[in-house]
């Protein structure tokens, strides 16, 4: 076992993403299960220092590649090319990355450039018999599968919240490696950057999510959802129906064509729990639903369902929460 690599992603401010800290934590446990394989972090960016320092608190060794073109070009394809060259020179067995937009782009391009297979969207990964075995939730959560590699090399993409990130006992080293060779793929310039259209709290890593569906009835109805989220210290989520109706931006959508979340609490207001939505939230620790319809599919997988009008129950809950916080 020559080693496990962790691709460390930089956030917009140069820090390491939360997802990368989770992937690094997971990589350490996989390495242990494989009898002490070496874990190495790799950060490739225009200014990788800050993210690399942070990644080194999770793994014993971090390689950095300074690649100035990433500052003003789409990152994924460039990172993948540099990573492919490093992989060829250093011969690791497994490259792990996050299953977010950048990680998927990097994994896909790296797979095509190396011919390595991808164990995608893992909810858990373990080391078993010399290789990585990834757990996946498929068919809308109806089936859990475990997959391995047919050869000795491969890429694993890991879903957010698969593990709780934990730094290693001691900090690792950071070593800068020179970028070698020409970039063969066309660079795609970033001509502008735009802030998200709302200042809405991010649902990706939220501990508590209050989500609204078709039953909320309109943009105004999401005012109550927001108030509940504020009272609970959580973020606002939504179903595709609510997003398609224009009541709330796509960034807050949970489900098959939106985001997959795993909060401690999922409070579902006026959400029927159709399979396309369930895919995105069924692993929440606690699911509480408020719905008029006792036969809504969500009644089958919620911990508690309150049968009633979501405005009445929502306002009563708001009053109760506010009374409690005094």
Q: How many residues bind other proteins (CB under 8 A)?
A: 100
φ, ψ of residue 26 to 5 degrees: the values are -65, -40
Q: How far is the CB of 245 from other proteins (least distance, A)?
A: 10
The reply on whether position 326 binds other proteins by CB under 8 A is no
Please tell me the distance from the alpha carbon of residue 172 to that of residue 57, in angstroms, as a whole number: 6
Q: Which of 35, 170, 178, 194 binds other proteins (CB under 8 A)?
A: 194
254 and 287 Cβ atoms separated by less than 8 Å: no
268 and 237 Cβ atoms separated by less than 8 Å: no
- Binding to other proteins, residues 38-67 (CB under 8 A): none
- Binding to other proteins, residues 249-288 (CB under 8 A): 250-251, 253, 256-258, 264-265, 274-276, 279, 285-288
Please tell me the distance from the alpha carbon of residue 39 to that of residue 307, in angstroms, as a whole number: 50
1 and 89 Cβ atoms separated by less than 8 Å: no
Q: Which of 172, 238 has the CB closer to other proteins?
A: 238
Q: How far is the CB of 272 from other proteins (least distance, A)?
A: 12
- Binding to other proteins, residues 195-224 (CB under 8 A): 195-196, 202, 204, 208
Pick the closest to residue 209 from 308, 315, 289, 100 (CA basis): 289
Q: How far is the CB of 318 from other proteins (least distance, A)?
A: 8
Q: Which of 130, 180, 181, 188 binds other proteins (CB under 8 A)?
A: 188
Q: How does strand 124-128 pair with strand 131-138? A: antiparallel
Q: Which of 121, 172 has the CB closer to other proteins?
A: 121
Q: How far is the CB of 202 from other proteins (least distance, A)?
A: 8
First-to-last CA distance in the chain? 57
Q: Which of 123, 172 has the CB closer to other proteins?
A: 123
Q: Which of 165, 226, 230, 301 binds other proteins (CB under 8 A)?
A: 301
CB atoms under 10 Å from CB of 169, counted, come to 6
- Binding to other proteins, residues 130-169 (CB under 8 A): 133, 137-151, 154, 157
Q: Which of 21, 121 has the CB closer to other proteins?
A: 121
Q: Which of 1, 265 has the CB closer to other proteins?
A: 265
Rounded to 10 degrees, the C-alpha dihedral 225/227/232/235 comes to: 60
Q: How far is the CB of 296 from other proteins (least distance, A)?
A: 11
Pick the closest to residue 146 from 173, 128, 170 (CA basis): 128
Residue 238 is inside which H or E element, if any?
Answer: strand 235-238
- Binding to other proteins, residues 230-249 (CB under 8 A): 232, 240, 243-244
Please tell me the distance from the alpha carbon of residue 115 to that of residue 104, in angstroms, as a whole number: 15
Site string for other proteins, 80-119 (x = CB under 8 A): x------------------xxx--xxxxxx-xxx-xxxxx
Compute CA distances 299 → 108, 228, 268, 292, 309, whole Å: 38, 21, 11, 11, 15
Q: Which of 178, 194 has the CB closer to other proteins?
A: 194
């Amino acid at each position: 076992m020559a080693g496990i690599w962790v691709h460390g992603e930089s956030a917009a401010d140069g820090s390491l993403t939360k997802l990368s800290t989770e992937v690094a934590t997971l990589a350490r446990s996989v390495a242990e299960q494989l009898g002490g394989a070496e874990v190495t972090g790799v950060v490739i960016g225009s200014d990788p220092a800050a993210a690399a320092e942070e990644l080194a608190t999770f793994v014993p060794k971090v390689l950095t590649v300074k690649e100035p073109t990433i500052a003003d070009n789409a990152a994924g394809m460039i990172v993948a090319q540099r990573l492919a060259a490093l992989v060829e020179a250093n011969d690791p067995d497994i490259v792990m990355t996050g299953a977010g937009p950048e990680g998927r782009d990097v994994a896909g391009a790296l797979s095509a450039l190396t011919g390595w297979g991808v164990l995608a969207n893992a909810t858990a990964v373990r080391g078993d018999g010399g290789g990585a075995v990834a757990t996946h939730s498929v068919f809308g959560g109806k089936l859990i599968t475990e997959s391995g590699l047919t050869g000795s090399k491969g890429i694993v993409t890991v879903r957010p919240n698969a593990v709780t990130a934990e730094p290693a006992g001691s900090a690792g080293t950071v070593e800068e490696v020179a970028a070698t060779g020409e970039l063969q793929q066309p660079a795609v310039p970033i001509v502008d950057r735009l802030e998200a259209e709302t200042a809405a709290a991010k649902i990706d890593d939220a501990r508590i999510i209050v989500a609204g569906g078709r039953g909320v009835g309109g943009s105004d109805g999401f005012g109550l959802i927001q108030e509940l989220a504020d009272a609970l210290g959580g973020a606002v989520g939504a179903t595709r129906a609510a997003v398609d109706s224009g009541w709330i931006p796509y960034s807050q959508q949970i489900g098959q064509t939106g985001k997959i979340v795993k909060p401690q609490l999922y409070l579902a207001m006026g959400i029927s729990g159709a399979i396309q939505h369930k895919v995105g939230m069924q692993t929440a620790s606690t699911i509480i639903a408020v719905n008029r319809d006792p036969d809504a599919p969500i009644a089958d997988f919620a911990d508690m369902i309150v049968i009633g009008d979501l405005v009445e129950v929502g306002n009563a809950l708001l009053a109760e929460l506010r009374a409690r916080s005094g």
